[in-house]
Amino acid sequence: MGKVERARAGRGRRGGGRRDRRSRTSRAGPVRASVALVLLAGGLTACGSESGTPSLTWYTNPDNGGQAKLAAACTQAANGKYRIKTSVLPNDATQQREQLVRRLAAKDSGLDLMSLDPVFIAEAANAGFLRPFTSAEEAQFTQGVFPASVENARWEGKLFAAPFWANTQLLWYRKSAAKRAGVDPTAADFTWDKLIDAALRSNTTVAVTGNKYEGYMVWISALMASAGGRIITNPERGSDATVDFDSPAGRATATIISKLARSRAASPTLSTEIEDPARNTFNAARGGFMINWPYIYAADLADAEAGVIDKSIPADIGWARYPQVTAGQPSKPPLGGISLGIGAYGKHENEAVEAARCITSEPNMKAYMLAEGNPAARPAVFDDPEIVKQFPMATLIRDSINAAAPRPITPYYPDVSSGVQSKWHPPASVNPNTTPKETDDFIPKVLRDQRLL
């Protein structure tokens, strides 16, 4: 999830960044000298290995350096077979896609590996931008990997990307607020209705990402899936696909969004909130409940330590599975994460496959999860004692990803998503009687170039 990265980058600047800077200034001299040495050495090896070692370029979404570290580790493990250089993409998922699409449409041969938001895999695969994995290669990338992540990486039966990390959203709550409202968010039948009523009773807010961006689509599609519906029922028909919001599930989704957005339980900035501002709302005086990715826990811990937020907040934070739409019908939390795609025009595809194999190995996924807080794509990692220690909610994250539903898998995903956003934003404008119907009329026309978007 690109947006998560933006949020994470923001946190890095505020929380962890300070520590780095201090150490950098105190050891400026030696650091500078060693940087010079490394550059010199790098230059020498570059000259020496021009003909021998193939150099792979991995376009990564921004993080706090975790992917660059994996690149270095895999370069070392490759023992001269290949080298991986990383190049960082823009902050938000939409812009990451924009840059990748531009490069791939121009048949960029310098694009070997890319960190792809799973929602864009179908589009890139359909356009011929990605090199599919052969059936012999597939096993390594699909066995012991969350099924939803694998499903999301397939297009027309072939695997086009290797799940690298997976993500999902949880319901975060302040134990004090839940107590005041007299609810138990971990109860087996905790629904959105109960959630909003609890927030109203305790005069607190339910923070969600309601800005007009992909994060809002994450919310809408998770509600839709939890209500038992599917946004697109026939994605294989490409631009002739139809949309199915005008259904009991679609109307239930609209009812929840409009109920929350028009109540006092909504943050005043609901319609512009992305991940980190939602976290601010949750940490503010009226904060009570929040739907967000797991990164926020580590972020709050760091902020409390740095004195950015009240020190008592982390101990007050509880977590529960994504709320249900219908009581008793298990929710389907959203699925996020990053998968590795291999550029169709790269010159070193075999080396790229090997590099992907190294990056997505279980130990490296674990290392990445520990370093960056992004959940691994292999459920086995969640039983690791180190992981359990650092992520007290590891089991819940694993179970949520296991139950998660991907957003619509279609080559026209960006249009479907922006189409939904344009009809459903701002959240307070959603009307269960008209919005679903309008969306169903609108999106097919957009796909056929009969409407602007």
- What sign has the CA pseudo-torsion 406, 293, 280, 99? negative
**Residue 414 binding another protein, by CB under 8 A:** yes
87 backbone dihedrals φ, ψ, rounded to 5°: -140, 130
**Residue 114 binding another protein, by CB under 8 A:** no
**Nearer to another protein among residue 10 and residue 346 (C-beta):** 10
- CB atoms closer than 10 angstroms to residue 428: 16
Write the Ramachandran bin of 417: left for phi over 0, alpha for psi from -120 to 50, otherwise beta.
alpha
**Nearer to another protein among residue 319 and residue 412 (C-beta):** 412
**Residue 7 binding another protein, by CB under 8 A:** no
**Residue 361 binding another protein, by CB under 8 A:** no
Q: How far is the CB of 11 from another protein (least distance, A)?
A: 14
Q: How far is the CB of 95 from another protein (least distance, A)?
A: 9
**Residue 9 binding another protein, by CB under 8 A:** no
Q: How far apart are CA 227 and CA 221, in angstroms?
A: 10
**Nearer to another protein among residue 348 and residue 425 (C-beta):** 425
Instruction: Point out which span in 20-28, 219-227, 253-261, 407-415 binds another protein (CB under 8 A).
Output: 407-415
Please give the full DSSP string across 227-292, using - where no structure is assigned.
TT--SBS-GGGGGG--B--SSHHHHHHHHHHHHHHTSTTS-TTGGG--HHHHHHHHHSTTEEEEEE
- Closest C-alpha to 286, from 208, 175, 204: 204
**Residue 94 binding another protein, by CB under 8 A:** yes
**Could you tell me the two tokens for 5?**
């990265």
**Nearer to another protein among residue 98 and residue 349 (C-beta):** 98
Q: How far apart are CA 235 and CA 132, in angstroms?
A: 20
**Residue 277 binding another protein, by CB under 8 A:** yes
**Nearer to another protein among residue 271 and residue 326 (C-beta):** 271
**Residue 434 binding another protein, by CB under 8 A:** no
Half-sphere exposure of 144 (CA within 13 A, CB side): 10
Instruction: Point out which span in 196-204, 267-275, 333-341, 391-399 binds another protein (CB under 8 A).
Output: 267-275
**Nearer to another protein among residue 274 and residue 325 (C-beta):** 274
Q: How far is the CB of 187 from another protein (least distance, A)?
A: 32
Helix (H, G, I), strand (E, B) or coil at 344: coil
- Closest C-alpha to 242, from 443, 437, 413: 443
Q: Which of 53, 55, 109, 126 binds another protein (CB under 8 A)?
A: 126
Instruction: Point out which span in 56-64, 75-83, 185-193, 444-452 binds another protein (CB under 8 A).
Output: 444-452
Q: How far is the CB of 421 from another protein (least distance, A)?
A: 8
Please give the full DSSP string across 17-61, using - where no structure is assigned.
HHHHHHHHHHTHHHHHHHHHHHHHHHHHHHHHHSSSS-EEEEEE-
**Nearer to another protein among residue 36 and residue 106 (C-beta):** 106
- The helix or strand, by DSSP H or E, that contains position 154, with its residue range, turns out to be strand 154-155
* Strands lying side by side in the sheet with 170-174: 205-207, 287-292, 170-174, 317-320
**Nearer to another protein among residue 260 and residue 353 (C-beta):** 260
Q: Return the residue matching tokens 């994250």.
A: 397
Q: Which of 124, 183, 252, 254 binds another protein (CB under 8 A)?
A: 124
**Nearer to another protein among residue 323 and residue 408 (C-beta):** 408
Instruction: Point out which span in 69-77, 173-181, 268-276, 341-349 binds another protein (CB under 8 A).
Output: 268-276
**Residue 320 in contact with residue 237, Cβ under 8 Å?**
no
Q: How far is the CB of 365 from another protein (least distance, A)?
A: 29
86 backbone dihedrals φ, ψ, rounded to 5°: -110, 155
Q: What is the DSSP letter of 220?
A: H
Instruction: Point out which span in 12-20, 118-126, 257-265, 339-347 binds another protein (CB under 8 A).
Output: 118-126
Q: What is the DSSP letter of 337?
A: E
Q: Which of 14, 85, 201, 212 binds another protein (CB under 8 A)?
A: 212
**Residue 452 binding another protein, by CB under 8 A:** yes
Q: How far is the CB of 105 from another protein (least distance, A)?
A: 5
Residue type, 428: A
Q: Which of 14, 69, 179, 451 binds another protein (CB under 8 A)?
A: 451
Residues at the site binding another protein, with contacts judged by CB under 8 A: 94, 98, 101-102, 105, 123-124, 126-129, 211-213, 238-239, 268-269, 271-272, 277, 280, 411-412, 414-415, 418, 425-426, 448-453
